Amino acid sequence: MTAVVVIGAQWGDEGKGKIVDLLTPEVDVVVRFQGGANAGHTLVVDGQRTVFHLLPSGVLHPHGTCVIGNGVVLDPEVALREIAACRTLGLDLAGRLFVSISAHVVLPQHQQIDLLREVAAGDSGIGTTKRGIGPAYEAKIGRRGLVCGDLVNPDRLQRRLHEILPELNRYIEIMLGGKPAAIEKTIEQYVAYGNALQPFVTDTVALLHEGVRAGKRILLEGAQGTALDVDHGTYPYVTSSTTVAAGAASGSGLGPTALTHVIGVAKAYCTRVGAGPFPTELTDDMGARLQERGHEFGSTTGRPRRCGWLDAVALRRAAQINGFTHLALTKVDVLESCETVRIGVGYRLRGQPLTTWPMALEDLAAVEPLYESLPGWKNSCRGVTSAADLPAALRHFLSRLEILIGVPVGILSYGPDRRDHVRLARMFD
């Protein structure tokens, strides 16, 4: 049995959805193991663009099992909307999609808390998507959460919401000055959601281990990126879950020894949404050019992404934390017209050189990036299907990156469509 983990190697938005979509025909099960509807995974198949926030990115293939694991916080409204969208595409998810009975549920009060906090913080806000993800994880850790097993049992759901909602509503009113949703209205709404989701909710841990015993291949899909991990990222400017490969075990119920391969996904440059330090950020014409050519606007919020050169120091750190076995490099086409491309190979902090990622937020915000310049590639990769046909300058860029990171590049993506890629190595057996 092979269990492959696909992880964002930067600040999210690296193109993980496309890589998962490409690998899905080679596996039997695709599992989303963390995050919530704050993630936007964009898939383009034959020119048709689809964005999923909760469903695994392998769902557009007509066969195979898709799982939303216990580590996810589920917004039932979003989940049902995406299930309906699949039906309009001719995809019947009955018997194919399974939602963990232990996945926690996002409530309207969680979303309201998220919004009111960001508004109150003003310019010093974290920059969340306001989808209620952080407050839902807070409730989970504080043992005041609602799980999908509650959601699909109407009697238990009403009892749990009568226990949970008064405290949330008091917090919204007294601490944040808001007007919370009425308890009975929320109960009515969530009973309907539970009835609609009931056919999909099950013990996904048992399901996955049945797959392990049957020798099935499993792909575990992460959301966001390593630099947004709640433990290893630029805290407090991070997401609220474990985005690194280790989280795939706890977020799915598979044991760590089942995880055999870890594929890190990175852009050929860097982007970041929201606040927080970004050492290689470009605030000049080049940064604007990357944003325009890369269409760098969030698929969940529409916010413009901050852009900068590839940061090999941060990428090497991500490779260490996750144990990458291969990289998938995306959006190399965005750099096609550059005379010169640059890679951040180190930092200078208060006059002293650094080759490692400083963990103190103030230090990371103060570093000066040290760059290595490489020739750009003028030729388009469009239609290229083998490494030998790639532009020589791009092959040199890849070789240099592999040396800097210590991880081979297995997939090269040069456009948004499913067909716009080159396989450079077989990444798992």
Instruction: Write out the catalytic residue numbers.
Output: 13, 41
C-beta of residue 191 within 8 angstroms of C-beta of residue 162: no
Question: Do residues 332 and 394 touch, judged by C-beta distance below 8 A?
Answer: yes
Contacts of 86-93 with CB under 8 Å at 24 or more apart are: 86/55, 86/59, 89/50, 89/60, 91/59, 91/60, 91/62, 93/59, 93/66, 93/200
List C-alpha distances in Å: 39 to 49, 74, 156: 16, 12, 29
Q: How far apart are CA 395 and CA 131, in angstroms?
A: 41
- Pairing mode of beta strands 29-32, 3-8: unpaired
Which residue is associated with the tokens 């096609």?
Answer: 336
| Amino acid identity, position 301 | T
H helices within 361-427, ranges in order? 361-366, 392-405
Pairing of strands 41-45, 48-52: antiparallel
Q: Please, what is the angle between helix 183-197 and helix 154-170, to 10°?
A: 140
Query: Are 61 and 24 contacting, i.e. CB atoms less than 8 angstroms apart?
Result: yes
Phi, psi of 74 (to 5 degrees): -100, 125
Cβ contact 319:244 at 8 Å: no
The pair of structure tokens assigned to 86 is 């699949």
Q: Which amino acid, residue 382?
A: R
- Describe the strand order of the beta sheet including 409-413 as a list of residue ranges: 201-202, 97-100, 65-68, 29-32, 218-221, 3-8, 261-267, 326-330, 409-413, 421-423
The two three-digit tokens of residue 110, written as one number:
């969680």
